[in-house]
Structure 1
Amino acid sequence: MRPTTKDLAKAAGVSLATVDRVLNERPNVSARAVRKVQDAIKRIGFERNLAAVNLARNRVYRFLFVLPERGDQYLSELLAEIDSARAPLKSELVEVGVVRLDVEDPHAVANLLSSLQTDEVNGVALMAPESPQTRDAVLRLNERDISVVHFLSGQANLEHHDFVGIDNIAAGATAGRLIGRFNAGRGGTIAIITETIHAQDSLKRRLGFDRVIHQNFPTLSCLPTLETHGDPARAERIIKQTFANHRDIVAAYIMSPEGRVPLEALSHCADLTDLIVVAHERTPFNEEALRDERLDAIIAQNPGHAVRSALRILRARRDRRQPFAAQEKIRIEILLADNL
């Protein structure tokens, strides 16, 4: 049984009223009584039921997801998961909002973050590329006691910041290993495609991918990254030009989470059943492409887990608790046509 406040008062040798004043940091309690309660907390393993405390105080959590304005099926999956998380959290006085904007405009992101006030928002889950403007705005949010979780993308230095998502260097390395093995010793080049290389997820995936290819598959070489910026016309043009200039392309790696635009452009340049193609994220389009053998493998992360993890971390930070790191670790999943 979890120790109660009555157990804590008995262990500390003080009254329930004193325990209440210590736990809630109220005045009119001696330093000696505070030490006795704190020692008893450690000794009996007392933990406060913060959900009950917050309900009693009518304390509301207000969290905000900042997501890209442009997106396709993967963004729709994230929005659906956020929406499904709202209902069960309402009873716990947790409000979840969404703002979408052009995240490739660092000034727009910085302006939005700078406009957030502590009486409106307690925490932000931010999905935006790295930039000095965004980094400075995040630091100012932290100074105003608004927590930030870098959501699926993030800043270059995350040692002192919360991040939700897979290990992107490992994900890129996994893609490199799959393409190298599927290639079965053939020589040639690999086309690498993303929306923007300024996104930390794409940058880290590219680092992991290059490392594995260069170290383990000497017959393969990697072309410079093609950036589509989510524009179908641009994707069609640059991919077509790349295939015209490199007749020895044997594989393609789509690093960004939205695979539909680059995959459709690739289909106009090559027979995808002959080309080895690996993409990210489980979307309806990618699933269909995997079944039709236009894709060879999908490297996925569970969007529902990511959304719930971001909310749990923001809530823990708001309660001045450490998040449960093992629970928030997002696994890399490898999907083939056989295990969909």
Structure 2
Amino acid sequence: MSRKTTLIQVAEAAGVSLSTVDRVVNRRGGVSPKAEAKVLEWARRLNLDRRIDRSYLKTLRIAVLMQSPQNPFYRALRDAFGDLRATMADMKIGCFIHDIDVTDVAGTAQKIGEVSKSYDGLIVTCPDDPRLSDALRLAARRVPIVTLATDLPGSGRIAYVGPDNRQIGRVAGELMGRFLGSEGGRILVVLGMQRMTGHEEREMGFRSVLRERFPGCSIVASLESEESQERAGELVREALRDHPGVRGIYNVSAGNLAIARTIQSLGLAHKIVMITHELTPARRQMLRDGILDAVIDQNPWLEARRALEVLGRHFQRGDVEIRPNEYTPYSIFIRENCPAID
């Protein structure tokens, strides 16, 4: 007959005091999330014969660092985290949004250092810069970090949650090559920020497919809008002047409305194939009007939920497996399968 697991055995396995184990399993509180997670992990591993309820657990405070909602994707992501405050309540997780200016690297690094001292975990979307990776590695010594939508492999993060951006870029390249046909043509690529790993990977995938399968297509300019709507439109206007005969535009990030207005003002509407990301109401209308030809849409609500679930599992508050790369699905929309506009 097997003997029941004791609290002393759990304490020894978890490397904590007996009083800490007692506080956790008897719901007395006053234990840090890190120590609490160790106790819960070993209590389950050793099959402690006691029901452990989450209701007494301290609410984990998760800081979400992302750019302002001027970019529609980040606006949708912000809304998703807001919606999830209620649905994640059973895991005792609360999330708090912190705006960062992705063009201010020093300010962002300082913000990372500040929030890591007062939160239990971080979810981060920021450019790939050595100073930011350094700041995140220091923060990772104190709290778990999840990178979201765009990865920073050298940041010390426990997981990346988001789409496979290189594959998404390849899909965009395949669509562009097929839309332009055997004639091919000149193409502009518009990035938000080259230093955003996700944007860089999308461009790499896009270029790879064109080089492999569509030799008639050539990228004549790669522009960087710095996530500015107005700048995107101005850059495209200049590029179209410098490179007459452009037949395709791949916009990786923000600025679709400004680019569309530029194309229309030059009398090039319906003459240029345009592919972009994220299906906003405005982009649905542009799809239906034939200004956009395809939109590759990721799911910000799913990405936000998955990032919180990964942190919950880190603290032994869920059964979601933690993987180094947690790729999320995406959808392709053209005019024929574009959802109705609300």
TM-score by length of 1: 0.82
Q: In structure 2, what is the equivalent of residue 33 of structure 1? A: none
Letter matched to residue 68 of structure 1: Q
1:264: Cα distance to partner? 3.1
Shift of 1:325: 5.4
* Secondary structure of residue in 2 paired with 1:95: strand
Q: Tell which deviates more after alignment, 158-167 or 188-197.
A: 158-167
Does 2:88 align with 1:86? no
Q: Is the 8 A contact 1:257 1:281 kept in 2?
A: no
Structure 2: gaps (5+ residues): 20-40
Query: 307, 328, 331: which is aligned to 1:333?
Result: 331
Report the equivalent of 1:194: 191
- Whole-Å separation in 1 of the counterparts to 2:178 and 2:286: 20
CA distance in 2, matches of 1:53, 1:150: 29
Question: What is the percent sequence identity of the aligned residues?
Answer: 21
- What is the alpha-carbon distance in structure 1 between the residues aligned to residue 199 and residue 127 of structure 2? 10
Counterpart contact for 1:70–1:102, Cα < 8 Å: no
1:311-338 CA distances to partner (integer Å, 9 max, x unpaired)? Answer: 1111222339884258953013111122
Tell which deviates more after alignment, 226-235 or 187-196. 226-235
Task: Describe the shift of the 1:271–1:20 C-alpha distance in structure 2 as closer, same or farther (beyond 3 A).
Answer: same
1:219–1:330 CA distance, 2 compared to 1 (3 A): same
Spell out, residue by residue over 1:23-78, the C-alpha distance to the aligned partner (whole angstroms, 9 max, x if none).
Answer: 875449xxxxxxxxx99977xx959999x44423x322111111103623222211
Partner of 2:55: 55
* Structure 1 residues 260-317: Cα deviation after superposition (integer angstroms, max 9, x where no partner): 3333333333523121111011111111111111111111111110000111111222
8 Å contact kept, 1:123–1:314: yes
**Cα gap change, 1:311/1:189 in structure 2, threshold over 3 Å: closer, same or farther?**
same
1:306 counterpart residue number: 303
Q: Write out aligned runs for 1:308-327 (5 A).
A: 308-319=305-316, 323-324=320-321
Give the aligned partner of residue 283 of structure 2: 286
* 1:212 paired residue number: 209
1:251 matched to 2:248? The reply is: yes
Instruction: Please tell me whether the aligned partners of residues 133 and 155 of structure 2 are also in contact (alpha carbons under 8 angstroms).
Output: no
Give structure 1 regions of 4+ aligned residues with deviation exceeding 6 angstroms.
Answer: 38-42, 47-50
Cα gap change, 1:140 to 1:321, in 2 (>3 Å):
farther
Count of aligned residue pairs for this structure pair: 315
* Counterpart in the other structure of 1:5: none
- Does the 8 Å CA contact 2:159/2:326 hold for their aligned counterparts? no
CA distance in 1, matches of 2:175, 2:229: 27
Provide the residue aligned with 1:230 in structure 2.
227
CA shift, 1:156, in A, is 5.4
Alignment of 1:26-175 (within 5 A): 26-27=17-18, 46=47, 52-56=52-56, 58-69=57-68, 71-118=70-117, 120-144=118-142, 146-155=143-152, 157=154, 161-175=158-172
Structure 1 residues 18 and 159: alpha-carbon distance in aligned structure 2, compared to 1, 3 A threshold: closer
Q: Which whole-Å deviations, capped at 9, do the CAs of 1:81-130 have from their partners, x for residues lacking one?
A: 11110122235422110001202211111100111244x31111111111
1:4 aligns with none
Q: Is the 8 A contact 2:229 2:256 kept in 1?
A: no
Name the counterpart of 1:14: 4
Q: 5+ residue gaps in structure 1?
A: 1-9, 29-37
Measured in 1, the distance between the counterparts of 2:136 and 2:217 equals: 40
Describe the SS at the equivalent of 1:116: helix
Tell me how far apart the structure 2 counterparts of residues 246 and 48 of structure 1 sit (CA, whole Å): 72
The question of whether the paired residues in 1 share the 8 Å contact of 2:229 and 2:255 is answered with: no
Q: Does residue 263 of structure 2 align to residue 266 of structure 1?
A: yes
Distance 1:166 1:281 in 2: 12
Provide closer, same or farther for how the CA distance between residues 15 and 299 of structure 1 changes in structure 2, counting only shifts above 3 A: closer
2:215 match: secondary structure: coil
Partner Cα distance (2:42, 2:303) in 1: 37
